[in-house]
Amino acid sequence: MSNILLIVGNLSTPGGVSVFWNSMLDAFKKSNEFHFKTIEIGGHGKNILGPLYDQWRVHKELSSNNQTQLAIINPSLLNRSFFRDGLFAKQLSKKALPFIVFFHGWDLEFEAKVTLKYTNFFLNSFGKAKKIFVLSEEFKEKIVEWGYKGEVVVITTTVNANLAKNFLLEERVQRYRNSTTTKILFLSRIIKEKGVFELIEAFEQINKKTKHLKLIVAGDGEAFEELKSRVEKKENIELTGYVEGDKKIELLSDADLYILPSYTEGLPISVLEAMLFGLPVITTKVGGLKRFFQEDKMGYFIEPKSSKSIEDAILKILENRTILEEMSRFNYHYAQKYLTNDVVAQNLSKHLKELI
């Protein structure tokens, strides 16, 4: 069994990285090929000594454990994570321990800063990695542009197949055929950059033309109170707050259509979860979605920051409800074949074996 050190954020908190690695660790347990030692970092709030403590913990692990054969760092291309995880990379390089980097989040504004000011830091830290994993071709191109000479792998994130173990696709199909009401689901952080306010505006416009719609907005975030005041007393808009577990499964099972109009993304796991439950998807052409999302088969792309684009996409589906059934079947089977944790783990394990 190969020993791998996984440096990652808190796996018990919500977010794409924790969802990804919890799913991966479940899948890897079945093969018994790798033993993962995890160091969960971050989550120190305003404690200025927290990042130093994390560096010390990694240093202590590297000094005391000579059985580790490979390390994995999981940064986002954001200010704090970039420099913190870059220092982890420098530690690993100094110890001559092979490591890979998996960039999950990717901020375009910070990308510009790296290009202007931090390319040398990137090359002297993350640039020492044996491989770098990213979620879109655009991110790969940028890393090559910065001068990285190793292999950059474009990989999908994943969704845990167990999430939908009790879901029945045919029940959804029958509902599409028999119900006249369409339930639209938004499930993400409640921040402006997720396009939630444009979605509300589009929904209000469509609602003037038809009353057979319901919008469920699930999640929490810095814009929640602003959103709450915006939709107060609107009977067909429901705010659930943050959801997980059975409540999340219930929302994904009962919805008819999923919408995520983000301004920017890496590869949103919520879209993959929606597809696992056979939901047609309306989203923006950003990040890793460009790579695999098949318009007209999985759903529709819309323009970021455009309520009119959202409105047009919803109306296009409402005018021909048979599209819902076709997209539902396609997304469900695509997710089972390509996006579940067992499938992605098999792909990732090939790369890990090459380096051990």
pLDDT at res. 30:
86
Domain count, the chain: 2
pLDDT (tens place) for every residue of the chain, 356 residues total: 899 999 999 998 877 888 899 999 999 988 889 999 999 998 887 788 889 999 999 999 999 878 999 999 999 999 889 999 999 999 999 999 999 999 998 888 999 999 999 999 999 999 999 999 998 889 999 999 999 999 999 988 888 888 999 999 999 999 999 988 899 999 999 999 999 999 999 999 998 888 789 999 999 999 999 999 999 888 899 999 999 889 999 999 999 999 999 998 878 889 999 999 999 999 999 878 888 899 999 999 999 999 999 999 999 998 888 899 999 999 999 999 999 999 999 999 999 999 98
Same domain for 78 and 61: yes
The three-state DSSP-derived secondary structure of the chain is CEEEEEEEECCCCCCHHHHHHHHHHHHHHHHCCEEEEEEEECCCCCCCCHHHHHHHHHHHHHHHCCCCCEEEECCCECHHHHHHHHHHHHHHHHCCCCEEEECCCECHHHHHHHHHHHHHHHHHCHHHCCEEEECCHHHHHHHHHCCCCCEEEECCCCECHHHHCCCCHHHHHHHHHHCCCEEEEEECCCCHHHCHHHHHHHHHHHHCCCCCEEEEEECCCCCHHHHHHHHCCCCCEEEEECCCHHHHHHHHHHCCEEEECCCCCCCCHHHHHHHHCCCCEEEECCCCHHHHCCECCCEEEECCCCHHHHHHHHHHHHCCCHHHHHHHHHHHHHHHHHCEHHHHHHHHHHHHHHHC
Same domain for 333 and 204: yes
Same domain for 116 and 169: no
Same domain for 333 and 234: yes
Same domain for 302 and 173: yes
Domain interval for residue 345 = 2-158+340-355
Same domain for 332 and 312: yes
Same domain for 190 and 145: no
Q: What is the CATH number of the domain that holds 140?
A: 3.40.50.11930
Q: What is the CATH number of the domain that holds 292?
A: 3.40.50.2000
Same domain for 98 and 78: yes
pLDDT at res. 208:
86
Same domain for 118 and 177: no
pLDDT at res. 2:
92
pLDDT at res. 186:
98
Same domain for 346 and 311: no
Same domain for 174 and 305: yes
pLDDT at res. 296:
94
Same domain for 180 and 124: no
